[in-house]
Amino acid sequence: MRLIPLEIGRLASSLTLTSPTWTDDRRVDVTLPIPAWLIEHPEGVALFDTGLHRDLRHSTDRLGQWTARHFHPDFQSHEELTARLEARGYRPSDIDLIIFSHLHFDHCGGTAEIPDARIVVQSDEWAAGKDEKLIANEVYNPADYNLGHEVQQVDGSHDVFGDGSVVCVPTPGHTRGHQSLRLELDSGPVVLTGDCVYFEQLLDEMITPRMGSERSRERQLESMRELARLRDEDGCRLIFGHDEDQFRSLPADGLT
Ligand SMILES: [Zn+2]
């Protein structure tokens, strides 16, 4: 099995970070790499998330006003999902599965480019993605993911290929049905954290970006503690959702 990072552009943003141990929030300017993860497994080819929608190269119209004000795409044509896959020798129709960490625009924008894959998503997330209020508040845009794919909704831990090598690990909080993905590589277990942890420092200091309710933040902190446990007790290597330094350090031909 091989895990290959594909960079589907970047987003520049200013994050408001909050911590149980701070008295005030802090703002940081960040450049977030937007990954899609290609998983070559003997039983099939999967993507974990699909990155940005290709229209965002030219226009932020599809984002909604608040989101467009806070996230600024930097996205070249050779970084579109289809181009990244072609550079690896894949056509879009070669992709069997799309596993979603969650349904925010920077994680499912490329889905329209992969029409034949089956989607694997937590049922809580799929339900949240149909919530009219969340759609009106620009949290979700069904045009990114509600495109007629076959959808496999799962609840809790889910063994994707039935051999224990790729397992969905629920990590709710960032969104209602957020999940991470554990892979048993020859080099050892790896967990793609998704947006449960944007970058390493946040886990070390139990910091979260300020968004959502107190309850969702407490749930995210619980999920972060579970990821720390997988690292410290199970020896999992954590690969964070938008960690620029870590992302640049990964080998271009992937991890095995
Ligand atoms: Zn994200």
Q: Please provide the average confidence, as pLDDT, over all residues in the chain.
A: 96
Distance 49 CA to ligand 1 centre (A): 10
Nearest 5°: phi and psi at 110?
A: -85, 5
Distance 171 CA to ligand 1 centre (A): 14
Distance 188 CA to ligand 1 centre (A): 25
Tens of pLDDT, residue by residue over 91-114, are: 999 999 999 999 999 999 999 999
CB-based contact 169:183 (threshold 8 Å): no
* Nearest alpha-carbon partner for 192 in 123, 134, 254, 133: 254
Distance 16 CA to ligand 1 centre (A): 14
- Residue 63 pLDDT greater than 80, yes or no: yes
Distance 144 CA to ligand 1 centre (A): 14
Distance 107 CA to ligand 1 centre (A): 6
pTM of the model: 0.97
CA-CA distance, 98 to 85, in Å (whole number)? 13
Q: How far apart are the first and last CA of the chain?
A: 6
State the CB neighbour count (10 A cutoff) for residue 174: 27
Which residues have CB atoms below 5 A from the ion given as ligand 1? 106, 195
Domain boundaries, the chain: 2-249
Tens of pLDDT, residue by residue over 9-49, are: 999 999 999 988 888 899 999 999 999 999 999 999 999 99
Q: Tell me the pLDDT band of 60, cut-offs 50, 70 and 90.
A: very high
CATH fold of 2-249 = Metallo-beta-lactamase; Chain A (3.60.15)
Residue 239: strand pairing partners? 192
Tens of pLDDT, residue by residue over 143-191, are: 999 999 999 999 999 999 999 999 999 999 999 999 999 999 999 999 9
Residue position matching structure tokens 């129709």: 93
Residue position matching structure tokens 């896959």: 85
Distance 34 CA to ligand 1 centre (A): 7
Distance 206 CA to ligand 1 centre (A): 18
Amino acid letter at 159?
D
Distance 43 CA to ligand 1 centre (A): 28
pLDDT at res. 209: 87
Distance 103 CA to ligand 1 centre (A): 9
CB-based contact 38:6 (threshold 8 Å): yes
Q: Token digits for 72?
A: 């600024």
CB-based contact 174:160 (threshold 8 Å): no
pLDDT at res. 11: 97
Tens of pLDDT, residue by residue over 68-87, are: 999 999 999 999 999 999 99
- Residue 58 pLDDT greater than 80, yes or no: yes
Distance 32 CA to ligand 1 centre (A): 8
CA-CA distance, 43 to 234, in Å (whole number)? 25
Distance 138 CA to ligand 1 centre (A): 14
Distance 61 CA to ligand 1 centre (A): 18
Burial of 182 (0-12, 13-18, 19+ CB in 10 A): buried
pLDDT at res. 203: 95
CA-CA distance, 139 to 105, in Å (whole number)? 8
Q: What is the CA radius of gyration of the chain?
A: 17
CA-CA distance, 9 to 56, in Å (whole number)? 10
Distance 106 CA to ligand 1 centre (A): 5
Tens of pLDDT, residue by residue over 119-139, are: 999 999 999 999 999 999 999
Distance 74 CA to ligand 1 centre (A): 15
Tens of pLDDT, residue by residue over 202-215, are: 999 999 988 778 88
Distance 195 CA to ligand 1 centre (A): 5
Whole-number percent of the chain with pLDDT over 90: 93
DSSP for residue 47 = E
